[in-house]
Structure 1
Amino acid sequence: MSEAVEALVIGAGPAGLMAAEILSQSGRRVLVVEAMPTPARKFLMAGKSGLNLTKDEPFHAFAQRFILGSGGRLPPHPRGYFDEEESRFGPAEVMAWVRGLGIELFTGSTGRVFPVGMKASPLLRAWLSRLRGGGVELRTRWRWIGGGWRFETPDGPRDIRPRVVVLALGGASWPRLGSDAAWVPWLKDAGVGIAPFRPANVGFRVSWSAPMARHFGAAVKGTALRAGDLASRGEWVIGRQGIEGGGVYEISAALRDGAAGRVDLAPDLDRAALAARFSRPKGKLSLGNWLRRVLEDPVKVALLLEWGRPLPGDPAGWADLTKGLPLRHEGPMAIETAISSAGGVTWDSVTKAQELRALPDVFVAGEMLDWEAPTGGYLLTACLGSGLHAGRAAAARLASMAAG
């Protein structure tokens, strides 16, 4: 069976739903298809511990947290939804859009923005209701199987004949929630450039010594981490398999790509002040007890003893080690465990409108594109913004078809 539609959106995550919303606002018939039984599963999972929508900070600072697939920082005037001269969709726009759904927001002490209720489900329900009211049709358990726009459905194979398509199929992290990168070979065969997927916002494997077992699950607070050009003051966690958490995720791109990591265990003290502390006589105290008196934190002491060997023998050496402890790891954890992924459709494979050069009238949004950013609201804002940008471009293409 074959069905004609004006606009087809494949993928019902934040990017796909935003593209569908923009297309429906232009008066088009929009069909959204989703392989999973329900939409936006990764979005809902992210909201279980508190849905961090965006980061309330100046747009320029916000945009500089993104890394494009070239491996460099975002340029001053990058494409599309990050372009201050065009269709900017940053923190202020996200907050206005969410409030337009009737969801109240609050901003935490770090600038992170959350719904008052903290959960994703009320926002998603309100959004889906608005989409239905706008004529958007959502079909679940429709899996794209290539061969043009052919889908495996509960009722057997179906073919769609769209005038424009927005692909929002996700990256390669959390495949059990739908982002399984099954689309890669079909786009490659069509001539689309695909950068290999790599884990982003991911923990790192560490083979701990036996004494570290007592600290598994402990939060590491009050440290500063650095790798390459990336830095973090966030908390992180010592786990059985290694290290993870927001503080690690902020520098994970550099660590993953081979930069050496360093931990400052006392970022609010300079070396002279630390050296003075380490000048305290050890007396009959064990090394561990002496260090606990100096650093006043057993977790920091454990890390110092774990990663600092050979240990120094003088106060200045202890101060230097405490301010620049090597972060020793054996590489990133599996991409399946990562919060997000780098890699995907290369930027030279799309136009500024996010249209695939190899497939005219097909637009791409969300984590399919080769970009990455830390957690803290950046990921979701970019997915929404890229969906909006692709939706606008697809709507404009339909309008030009009608006029032409």
Structure 2
Amino acid sequence: MRSLSTKALQKIAEQYGSEPVNVLEVSWSDDIPIQVYADITDNRIRGKILEISSLDNIINVTDSADSQEISVVLDDTDGIIKAIMNNNDIHKRDVWVKQWFRGLPFNDRFLLFRGKISSPVVWNEGDRTVSFTILSQLEDKEVGFSPEEGQFPYIPKELIGQTWPLIFGTPLDVPAVQINKAITGTILCGVGIISGQQYHRSIPLGGNPPDTRLAEAQSRHVNFVASAWFDEDSKLYEQYKDQHSGLREQINRSWDQYERKRICALRKRAGTASDAEEQGEGCNPVRILGGEDFPRGEIKLNIGGGVFTGYFNDDLFYITSRRHKENEDQAEAAANPTGTPCDISAATPAAPQGYLFEDRIPPWKSSSVSKRGWYTTRGVIFPATPSSNENQPDRTLQQFWVDAGTKVDNDGFIPLYYIVSIIPGTVLKVKAYKDFHGDKR
């Protein structure tokens, strides 16, 4: 710490004025450059210091060391400091309190003391200010232990500052201190889960493709007859060729119409699934009353029976995935029904259909044909297996919804931990109480 003599301070006051500028340099995080604040606005510094208390020299009785303490209130209208607090642990971060006189180079500011941020750190939403205390020396010789903010990844607010027990000898019935709790909250807007989208998009459409087998057989027959008349009778050749073209056009048109309907149905399904997700999932992020008590980082929450995975930022829960096991099973069952479809079992099986095509051709070109001068094509078409209407796409989409006011808790088993002693010892017996409507038993 730099000390200036009375004559030096008088000389500075005569040349530059007697009012020093208080400068605060804060190392919020290892990933953030040191931020400089002052109680005036200058082109080099931001005037964010609203209040700064006078230094208070306190004598530490145990080792006669100076411990300086100062309280600071910073303007956070732009919310930058609040954003830093939400993403970093600022407890015990380094702070430099300096002073500087206008007219001097800014590098000539002198250090009053170096300290660390001490809990609690308070962000006032109404005034949009941040206030905290800076200690130049934190206590390190105290007997016992009480947790402070930032010392653990998560600890309930009501346990901050509560002393942990110490045992000596061989005690009996030691009252333990619970260091975590089963946390609950309440959602402030509705959320939902859409299950079965993959089945909705992928199950068969249920319509039968066109049965063009008879037209295909007739097309091949007519094409052979046309080729037989190619060198003999141009008029008959053109007549059969036109008939063959008409059959091919009919076949192609049937398949084109089927494909158009199939693509249209697929697009409609995809649109239905997208609309269901957009309209049926509710808020994201969702504000949770009591959300600030939940652990930070990725977490799974049970909201009314649905499992939501995500992370907290203050009391806002950002959902990254959702799952409802019961609805997923129902969607899978609808997409993969067991047993014989109802429409097939109730229908009378169709009989095979025979066909016969016979046309005249030049006799000298029919040596391989049983009936000379004629070309005959015959065969049997067995009925195609009809598709099942059992796969209903609207049954594969399952929605789960909970309204605002629904209870929220951790998904899965959360063990409760108790502290019996912070030093080694032998405990013969511990005791615990359960709260029944305010009455400990």
Q: Does TM, normalized by the shorter one, top 0.5? A: no
Q: TM-score range by the shorter chain?
A: under 0.3
Q: Which has the higher contact order (CA 8 A, sep 6+)?
A: 1
Q: Which has the higher helix share?
A: 1
Over alpha carbons, which structure has the higher Rg? 2
Q: Structure 2 length as normaliser, TM-score? A: 0.20
Q: Structure 1 length as normaliser, TM-score? A: 0.21
Q: Which has the higher strand share?
A: 2
